[in-house]
Structure 1
Amino acid sequence: MTRLRQELVGFAAGGLLGLAIDASIVQGLVAWAGWHVYPARAVSFTFAASFTWWWNRHVTFRHRRSGRSVHAEWFGWVVLMSLGAAVNLGVYVIVLKLFEGLQRWPAVAVAAGSAAGAAFNFASARAALFSKPKSQP
């Protein structure tokens, strides 16, 4: 398998795990804690984004480096993912507005938003953050 294909598979796996974290938290906060769907999503997205940074750093792009400290890399991840997050969250809002019945099932809107932002997130992570190959030992 080519390195690009391995990275795509790793990114997709991390994204699916991040989606599970995101959807579980937002659904739990709405259904069991009575939160409104938007603040619940802010919390769930923060947890999911932090997990996906960790996953991509250690799994997807393990053969690449950013050349930054861990904290700077995490911050860079958050900054780079902002556009993808805007797409993600925008689609989430649009889906909830178009299909009001999903207010009780926001995890469906989370999935739509996550799919919409994934391609941008992969390309920007690979090209801008994890752009340098690690030196071979």
Structure 2
Amino acid sequence: MRSELIVQMLRFGAVGGVGFVVDGGLLWLLISLDFNPYLARALSFPVAVVVTWALNRNWTFRATRDASKEGQFRRYFGVQLIGSMANYLTYSAIIGLFGTASLTIFLGFSLGSFFGALMNFFGARHVAFRA
């Protein structure tokens, strides 16, 4: 059981890295197109959720693949919404306090992603992809 948890954490982290790139890449693209940074973040995050759900379903938590895709996605999306609140509140607080310079936006994005990821792993493991 312990080694399974470690493998899942490592895989979840790798999938999170893909999500980070998808989310961050779209965020920077939208900002470069003069989108408001708050709106850009609100648009980039759901795209990353869909990508990470598919990867986590088929790799990280593949033992539960036989469960209803729709049910898993609804639960995963719910878990992600809770994690995204911590993520977005951290992001908004950082840029609200320190401005919208590129480095500040990146710091807010990075810290928000870290706090959200902690919540999301345990929610994914125990709620979305439960056996």
Q: Which runs of 5+ in 1 are unaligned?
A: 133-137
Q: CA RMSD in A?
A: 1.8
**Is 1:28 the counterpart of 2:33 in the alignment?**
no
1:37 CA displacement:
0.5
State the TM-score, normalizing by the size of structure 2. Answer: 0.90
Q: Residues 66, 112 of structure 1: CA spacing in aligned structure 2 closer, same or farther, 3 A cutoff?
A: farther
State the TM-score, normalizing by the size of structure 1. Answer: 0.86
Higher helix share: 2
Distance 1:81 1:101 in 2: 25
More displaced 10-residue stretch of structure 1: 3-12 or 100-109 = 100-109
Question: Identity of counterpart residues, as a percentage?
Answer: 28
Counterpart of 1:39 in structure 2 is: 39
Which 4+ runs in 1 deviate beyond 6 A? none
Counterpart of 1:71 in structure 2 is: 70
Whether the 8 Å contact between 2:73 and 2:128 is mirrored in structure 1 is no
Q: Structure 2 matches for 1:33-112, cutoff 5 A?
A: 33-65=33-65, 67-68=67-68, 70-102=69-101, 106-112=105-111
Between 1 and 2, higher relative CO (CA 8 Å, sep ≥ 6) is seen in 1
Whether the 8 Å contact between 2:94 and 2:104 is mirrored in structure 1 is no
Whether the 8 Å contact between 1:66 and 1:73 is mirrored in structure 2 is no
When the two structures are aligned, how many residues end up with a matched partner? 130
